[in-house]
Amino acid sequence: MEFLAIILFISIFVLILYGFPVSFTLGGISMIYALCFLPWESFTALPPRVMGVMSNYVLLAVPLFIFMGIMLEKSGLAEGLLETMAVLFGRLKGGLAISVTIVGALLAASTGIVGATVITMGLISLPTMLKRGYKKELATGTIAASGTLGQIIPPSVVLVLLGSVLNVSVGKLFSAALVPGILLVALYIIYILIAAHLRPNWAPPVSEEELAAFKEKDFAKKVFIAFFLPFLLIIAVLGSIFAGIASPTEAAAVGALGATLLTISQRKFNLDILKKVMRETTHLTSMVFLILLGATTFSFVFREMGGDVYLVDLIKGSNLSAMGFLLLVMIVVFISGFFIDFIEIIFIIVPIVTPIFIEFEVNLIWIGVLLALNLQTSFLSPPFGFSLFYLKGVAPEGVTTGHLYRGIIPFVLIQLIFLLTVVFFPEILFWN
């Protein structure tokens, strides 16, 4: 029976790689195995398990954060922020790339949705960087890397889902992920400065004429609007969580309302925008919860068949240490990230390995941040990184897949080095 549970996992993984719908594959194949191999009385425990997951109060944060991110995307704040940052860092070699990195971090802290951030940054900044003479590899690498910061910088949908699956506090995950996110931004900027210093033609500064033209009219007002409004939203969301005033779900509601008010303040809000935002939010939320429903069924059947006990016994019998098992999980998650989305990885792989981490008495907050960093790195890695596909879809003519692959390699190396640093120095996470 235990071996059949492993066959169930492999069957589902293979079918997903073949392109079958994730949610229906998870639930459908699990039910077929259950009907064939489990006693009928086992099924009485499934409905309460499903309802217990679906009524999880923390998961309400998912649609609210998605709504917040999509609404901010429509507000036009990202474009204004990028223009202002480009002027502030304009005379610096690599200043525009640094601006893109900082704006990517701010959008990550405002939205937490990787696809929306990469596409927005690609549409707004890539043509501008190319027009100003930036090397294509540096431009595309900077945009793809900064766009994926939404995986790790709170409030991140990835961290919300990981908190739910690992059964740990989402607020504590947010707190632990904050410093790694900021350090990653700093490392990206250091690389850009070094590259621009060694190869000045890769990242030329903005011309004096362009700077003067931007500063001529209402410069102080532009800077205030560009910085103050996004920071206000970030402080309202993250500040309320870290101060203990609001739970992540309540803070997500504040963020959704705040994003709507910001869009109104930019005079971009209308009924058509609201309909588009609600439609996209409903679509993404439905996808997440359908996968969650299938994953709950899979997890239930896998455990009823003794799969979790079998894996724990297998790891113990192999004399694999906690660090050895962690390395194995990181490799599996990294490779899986090439082929399937982070939602499937969180709901399929993480529930299986969590009991083993608990058996090893490993800090699950640390594991959650490591998994988020790993998924972020996987999102960037050639040849199948999702962020590269997002950016290629909006890249102007002349930007090839080869440019994307070559440009992202230094950022992937930064990610891997930083991931190893967090593995060996977990105290980075527990700063408060």
pLDDT tens by residue, 314-352: 766 777 788 888 988 888 888 777 766 677 788 778 888
Closest CA to 401 of 387, 413, 411: 387
Cα 432 to Cα 184, 213, 245, 272, distances in angstroms:
19, 44, 16, 43
CB 408 within 8 A of CB 144: yes
Rounded to whole angstroms, the Cα distance separating 423 from 370 reads 7
pLDDT: which is higher, 175 or 20? 175
What integer is the mean pLDDT of 115-128? Answer: 74
Amino acid at residue number 182: I
Do 114 and 151 contact (CB within 8 A), yes or no? yes
As given in the structure block, the two tokens for residue 279 are 């439609």
Question: How is the chain split into domains, by residue range?
Answer: 53-286+364-428
**Higher pLDDT residue, 49 or 274?**
274
Please give the mean pLDDT across all residues of the chain: 80
CA neighbours closer than 13 Å in the CB half-sphere of residue 298? 31
Instruction: Give the pLDDT score at 368.
Output: 92
Residues in the chain: 432
Which carries the bigger pLDDT value, residue 36 or residue 338? 36
- Please report the pLDDT score of residue 49 as a whole number: 74
How far is residue 355 from each of residues 38, 158, 166, 351, 362, measured CA to CA in Å? 22, 20, 9, 8, 10
- 209 vs 234 pLDDT, higher one: 234
- Exposure string of 259-298, with b = 16+ CB inside 10 Å and e = fewer, is bbbbbeeeeebeeebeeebeebbeebbeebbbbbbbbbbb
Pick from 181, 209, 205, 211: which is nearest to 192 by CA? 205
- The pLDDT confidence band at residue 366, using thresholds 50, 70 and 90, is very high
Quick: pLDDT tens for 219-243.
677 677 777 777 788 788 878 877 7
**Percent of the chain residues past pLDDT 90, beyond the cut:** 9
Measuring CA to CA, how many Å separate 130 from each of 46, 76, 134, 236, 249? 55, 21, 5, 35, 40
Question: Which of 406, 396, 382, 386 has the alpha carbon at shortest distance from 195?
Answer: 406
Confidence of residue 149 (pLDDT cuts 50, 70, 90): confident
- What is the predicted pLDDT for the residue at 431? 61
Do residues 259 and 75 touch, judged by C-beta distance below 8 A?
yes
Is pLDDT above 80 for 84? no
pLDDT of residue 187: 94
Provide the token pair at 173. 């995950």
Three-state SS for 425?
Answer: coil
Gap between the Cα atoms of 303 and 310, Å rounded: 9
How does pLDDT run across 88-112, given as a tens digit for each residue?
776 778 888 888 888 878 777 665 5
The whole-model pTM stands at 0.76
Burial class of residue 404 in the structure, from the number of CB atoms within 10 Å of its CB (0-12 exposed, 13-18 middle, 19+ buried): buried
Lowest mean pLDDT across 53-57, 96-100, 131-135, 294-298:
53-57
- pLDDT at residue number 234: 77
Strands (E), 201-321: none
- The pLDDT of residue 218 is 67
